[in-house]
Structure 1
């Protein structure tokens, strides 16, 4: 289903690349990070081209809950402990400045994007100590956070942090306005990048500076981002018939798991948009969703709080999660002087996109920014990085072993209509989904990115990679990178 943003905005299409181009800067990816970077570079007088594989705003920008806030979960106490007060101050200031920059840009360009200032709350129904610790850390960083027990939520909280003067908006209305004067090509997937040359099926682009703003970087070496990130899925729904919420809320307790009916407010997101209430939650690591049912749980949760409310639409998003909770923004690697990257925004793509655009523009133009160091992709925090990288390695190894050495027990005939799974067919391991008519759709179970075994996602009828988050629809078409090709297997023929 479409997000509430996609349902209420139409962005005119752009032409596909046709032939070669030479530009000063090329941005790969037409989401908010890429569009803002291109906008600021153009404002600095540079010749910039945005290369989008599908449509601008069609990725995670169109699937966000669109909160512009510094309240990025329980992060500041941990940042001070792991990175030191100076780096934590850089992170806090970067996100404060991002919020201010949105406000200035919207006012200057008179952008009608439903921008509203409000308070952003982090709440817990279980813990008080962690909330107090985070409040003190945020106060130490000058974020003006306040401990409170008063909220608009339809249940009692144990503790909450209030961050005043935050904001929310319509991300696609904003993107549409900012992108109007930019040079953009759409439906032009990038196949390779070598030095200063970007290769596509429709022509090559030569650029002095190349910015990778494609969500998860698709080039593995150099950079090795696949070793330093994984992806997670999250779910949201828009409801009518609910009270209007003045402010925004995010639960920070552990998710209640898969038990339908446990609606105590843990790990749920709340915000209003016009007559709608947006409710989010029940996320998981990509590739780990065998049970499904997230949309049902959101609908049942909403009805438990506001009986009789009605579902308008529901959607999902995917987030890149770094090992130390801070995005990778800056030089792609030490070996690629003219490459830049913006990735690992976790759940905070709005402020992180603005911070990324500001940092990368400052690096390319030579203006610099005072908070670039904390985001450096070349950073390495020994205490955090080693154990987390080890966990990611173990996770990938399990999936590789499953793909290469395990044999499924199920057969095609045992998969009911409307379901999918990994089966053994004609002596081979394959993925199959049977549509409602019982017609099977076969795919290879090997992810084309690095060979991990894909898993079936019953909520979204997709094949997902638990290693690095690539996703494919049930026909095998690519949905999410870092993979660059689909998994259709035309060699398999169905014999009843």
Structure 2
């Protein structure tokens, strides 16, 4: 499906790769799409489908919350390969399918859900997933491990459509809650209808401007309190160190002269130090040992080990550490 969509896009539109969009502004009734290199597009309509929208319209980071899942892939004996895609009803849940053909088959499996940035849960659920595929399918040595992030909406349904009532030409699609193939397809159809001025029966259901305090109010309060607790508590818990050098291959957040620094010690012996303060709203990032990234537990921004933006809502890299 994705190959088919990509081919259609390439036939009908230009594709810009290797450039990160950092801002969308408005000028003369048109949307100006700006990348790290500067303005590149001047258009009527913009669809922001960046998992968590990078635009401030709608304050979606207060209404959809970052969750993560461990994932792995490893060779599987064709005789033990399941036919189809499955999701379990157990807790923690697992979903799995097989990729490849003939004797070159890989089991691709997803583990339980945890809050982005909760490092102990990340490692615990990854180990549990490895034990599951080994026990059930004989996949004893997974070759690939990674973390998948998604966003859980406050009332259980994605936010799709116009980002706010003030601008009729900026659209968003977020809060797919790990059901991206189906929700992404529905979102594309809905937004296409809105841009073309057609009625869509799902528009009200997925309305991106909706607020449902009865259905989602409890989660809204709980998750935003969780972000506030990280904002304050992580600063109080951060250990002090004059010369932070984690073990080789590891990362940690420490305070140096009162400033929280994110420090990663790579395999060559080089120590990478950047500010641990997320450039989105100022929370402290946490080390993701599986992907070797810095993940924000408040709103889900992710950064490479040397501070470059991997996922929004942040659009600015982590600041360089003072020398």
TM-score, normalization by structure 1 = 0.58
Q: For residues 461 and 470 of structure 1, what CA distance do their matches in structure 2 show?
A: 14
Q: For residues 291 and 256 of structure 2, what CA distance do their matches in structure 1 show?
A: 24
| 5+ residue gaps, structure 1 | 1-112, 114-170, 256-266
Q: 1:270 aligns with which of 65, 77, 96?
A: 96
Q: How does 1:203-222 map to 2 (within 5 A)?
A: 203-220=39-56, 222=57
Q: Does 1:254 align with 2:80?
A: no
Q: For residues 308 and 336 of structure 1, what CA distance do their matches in structure 2 show?
A: 51
1:359 aligns to what SS in structure 2? helix
2:114 alignment partner in structure 1: 284
Q: 1:234 aligns with which of 55, 69, 72?
A: 69
Residue 254 of structure 1 deviates from its aligned partner by 3.0
Q: For residues 228 and 168 of structure 2, what CA distance do their matches in structure 1 show?
A: 32
Q: For residues 293 and 260 of structure 2, what CA distance do their matches in structure 1 show?
A: 17
Residue 281 of structure 1 deviates from its aligned partner by 0.6
Moved more, 292-301 or 269-278: 292-301
Contact (CA 8 Å) 1:462, 1:474: kept in 2 or not?
yes
Q: Does 1:298 align with 2:124?
A: no
Q: 1:247 to 1:191 in 2, by over 3 A?
A: closer
Residue 416 of structure 1 deviates from its aligned partner by 2.2
Q: 1:370 to 1:285 in 2, by over 3 A?
A: same
Q: For residues 25 and 234 of structure 2, what CA distance do their matches in structure 1 show?
A: 31
Count of residue correspondences: 310
1:402 alignment partner in structure 2: 233
Q: 1:339 to 1:271 in 2, by over 3 A?
A: same
Q: 1:237 to 1:191 in 2, by over 3 A?
A: closer
2:86 aligns to what SS in structure 1? strand
Contact (CA 8 Å) 1:241, 1:309: kept in 2 or not?
no
| 5+ residue gaps, structure 2 | none
CA deviation digits over 1:368-388, x for unaligned, max 9? 222221100122222222211
CA deviation digits over 1:386-427, x for unaligned, max 9? 211111221111122135555524554563222221112244
Q: 1:380 aligns with which of 211, 235, 252?
A: 211
Q: For residues 448 and 383 of structure 1, what CA distance do their matches in structure 2 show?
A: 32
2:205 aligns to what SS in structure 1? helix
Contact (CA 8 Å) 2:190, 2:203: kept in 1 or not?
yes
CA deviation digits over 1:199-251, x for unaligned, max 9? 2324342211121112211122x311011011112222233215232232212
Residue 430 of structure 1 deviates from its aligned partner by 1.3
1:336 aligns to what SS in structure 2? coil
Q: 1:459 to 1:238 in 2, by over 3 A?
A: closer
Residue 174 of structure 1 deviates from its aligned partner by 3.6
Q: How does 1:35-50 map to 2 (within 5 A)?
A: none
Q: For residues 368 and 206 of structure 1, what CA distance do their matches in structure 2 show?
A: 26
